[in-house]
Amino acid sequence: MEDSAKCGCDSMSSHKDCGCGQMSSHGHEGCDSGHHSMTRMYKRAYMDALYQAQVERIRKRIDAKSGPMLDKMADAVVESFAKMWQSKMAKIEAGQELEAKLGKILSEKN
């Protein structure tokens, strides 16, 4: 088994970097897998929060600079998709109406 797997360190970091400096009978001294998983969890949470903070800042700047244009674009998309949806529904209803009429004609024949 690879030392990083025994220690719980990710494969990209050395054991020294993740606090696993010296060997012990179970792999590395100071390598509590719970400690490592908590550290990894908080590192991921920190990086995610940092990413989200950047997204928020960029979103605010985009909105300040292009908000009115984006609103007009969103309105155009909603209006257009609503028309397409109505058209699809009308097509479905017309098909159902035709099936009902043909069914009635066929049932009258018998």
Contact 6, 24 (CB under 8 A): no
Two tokens at 36? Answer: 């490592």
Q: What is the mean pLDDT of residues 10-34?
A: 52
Sequence spans of domains, the chain: 1-31, 32-109
Confidence tier at 45 by pLDDT (50, 70, 90) = very high
Confidence tier at 110 by pLDDT (50, 70, 90) = low
Write out pLDDT tens, residues 46-74: 999 999 999 999 999 999 999 999 999 99
At 2 the pLDDT is 43
State how far the Cα of 61 lies from the Cα of 78, in Å rounded to an integer: 24
State how far the Cα of 15 lies from the Cα of 10, in Å rounded to an integer: 9
